[in-house]
Structure 1
């Protein structure tokens, strides 16, 4: 008779940073709209929700306070629609048929809210929202556990699934044909470039691996984009003892 054996826990495979980042892509049709567009992708693994909890909340509080102060200073000098980076994104939205006065890019929406108080969601989301306002760049974060394949920025056919909430209930919507969307093999992860993220890949309290996407248009320089990514990477690196961060910039060239 064979001897009984205790089950052996198998180690979790290490995230394939190089493979994931190499397969992420931006379609030429997007660069045709804005040749100045660049995407900085950060892949993060080893986030420890329990160990990092107190630090994450403290870091988020400090960043949010700084972001709210920065937004107040910016808006004291200029209307929100005339802030250079927000104006660039309003122009980009018009290029694919969106109405920026009705559909606000994530940077504009956050900057408008920051003056009276940024929303609080969870520590990871709060940190990247604050960095978005501080560096004036649209920035989104998603849980890699919800991904099917890798990130792909393209123009929608119109039949892609987008898992969202309407009236408090989960629903599946579809983007407009020609709309700029981030997607994976299962459907849309973010509509209208950086307007609204879906539920399927949303960051959770227990997220351990994530991808962060920073969207840049002129007048944001490559140095400015790198600075925003460095700030984010430094904050994330403190959210666990084994955090690993890798990055890639995708541009028209």
Structure 2
């Protein structure tokens, strides 16, 4: 799965500094929010805001024609929701890492995924859930063989691949733009892997860094 993930050159042409750390976690044990995951959210919410990182994502949205004040980058929307929402243990964990580093992170149920994840600029005829709406030509989207999995880069995910309490195999996409360094991106990935391992000691975790040229 990791080796087949790719980012279209048209996306790198838009933002050459883009990088994504893809992580698979197999054998997860998820469950409803508990004191452990709630504490993660509380600690993350106390972090000082990092507007320069969020501003980079707003600029990226404007570059493909989106209005970030109307459809906000995921990490911008998340940091505006205080206290942070409680979803389930796995989602709480990656949301905490997201807020801590001002880093958009997507979580996908691998068992509901069809084919490799790829980040492209939409043609405009991609299959999409009605609630999400149809992507516009040139819009940056994540997709699989079935259709759109996340619109406007990291704005909103489809219900089909959402992480739920029954999820056992997951894909996480940690998306970076400058001024975040690649080193901090890797550190955030290590933190997420550590949290997932605490939650599920027998989970098998693998990662791959995707940057322009690889």
Structure-1-length-normalised TM-score: 0.81
SS of corresponding position for 1:173: coil
State the match for 1:128 in structure 2. 94
Alignment map for 1:65-104 (pairs within 5 Å): 65-70=42-47, 73-74=48-49, 83-104=51-72
The whole-number CA distance in structure 1 between the counterparts of 2:151 and 2:137 is: 12
How far has the Cα of 1:111 moved from its partner?
A: 1.1
The whole-number CA distance in structure 2 between the counterparts of 1:59 and 1:44 is: 19
* Structure 2: runs of 5 or more not aligned: none
Aligned-pair Cα RMSD in Å: 1.5
Tell me which structure has the larger Cα radius of gyration.
1
Which of 142, 146, 152 aligns to 2:112? It is 146
1:228 aligned to 2:188?
yes
How far has the Cα of 1:57 moved from its partner?
A: 2.5
1:191 aligned to 2:151?
yes
The whole-number CA distance in structure 1 between the counterparts of 2:133 and 2:46 is: 36
The whole-number CA distance in structure 2 between the counterparts of 1:57 and 1:128 is: 15
SS of corresponding position for 2:160: coil
Structure 1 residues 27 and 238, CA gap change in structure 2 (3 angstroms): same
SS of corresponding position for 1:120: coil
4+ residue stretches of structure 1 with deviation over 3 A? none
How far has the Cα of 1:62 moved from its partner?
A: 1.6
Equivalent pairs, count:
213
SS of corresponding position for 2:191: helix
Structure 1 residues 64 and 87, CA gap change in structure 2 (3 angstroms): same
Which of 132, 147, 168 aligns to 1:208? It is 168
* Structure 1: runs of 5 or more not aligned: 1-19, 75-79, 166-171
The whole-number CA distance in structure 2 between the counterparts of 1:59 and 1:249 is: 29
State the match for 2:77 in structure 1. 109
SS of corresponding position for 2:210: strand
Structure-2-length-normalised TM-score: 0.95
1:27 aligned to 2:8?
yes
The whole-number CA distance in structure 2 between the counterparts of 1:22 and 1:151 is: 10
